[in-house]
């Protein structure tokens, strides 16, 4: 009974600390976005459309390359095991 009371007190104190830690990270001097993104500026198009699209395309290409390399290695291992 005593250990469950100690555990419940520890959990309660932890939850009380989380709120104070999160509030301490609030930085009032940093400007916050005020509205939707203006796509009439070229820099916004590059930052919010082109760069994320390039990252996704690069990820897909490298994922396929890694998968192909793993398949080739497994085929070579299979061939060498059969030859023995």
Domain ranges for the chain:
42-84
- The answer to whether 2 and 8 are in contact (CB under 8 A) is no
What CA–CA distance (Å, rounded) separates 4 from 17?
Answer: 20
The secondary structure of residue 35, as a DSSP letter, is: S
pTM for the full model?
A: 0.54
Distances (CA, A) of 37 to 28, 47, 49, 55, 56: 22, 11, 11, 20, 21
Q: Encode pLDDT of 21-74 as tens digits.
A: 666 666 777 777 778 888 999 999 999 999 999 999 999 999 999 999 999 999
Distances (CA, A) of 14 to 1, 2, 3, 47: 20, 18, 16, 39
Q: Within its chain, how far is the Cα of 29 from the centroid?
A: 27
13: pLDDT strictly greater than 70:
yes
């Amino acid at each position: 009974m005593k250990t469950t009371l100690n555990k419940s007190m520890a959990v309660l104190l932890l939850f009380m600390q989380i709120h104070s830690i999160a509030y301490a990270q609030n930085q009032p001097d940093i400007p916050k976005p005020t509205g939707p993104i203006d796509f009439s500026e070229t820099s916004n198009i590059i930052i919010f459309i082109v760069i994320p699209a390039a990252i996704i395309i690069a990820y897909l290409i490298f994922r396929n390359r890694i998968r192909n390399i793993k398949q080739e290695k497994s085929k070579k291992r299979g061939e060498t095991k059969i030859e023995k």
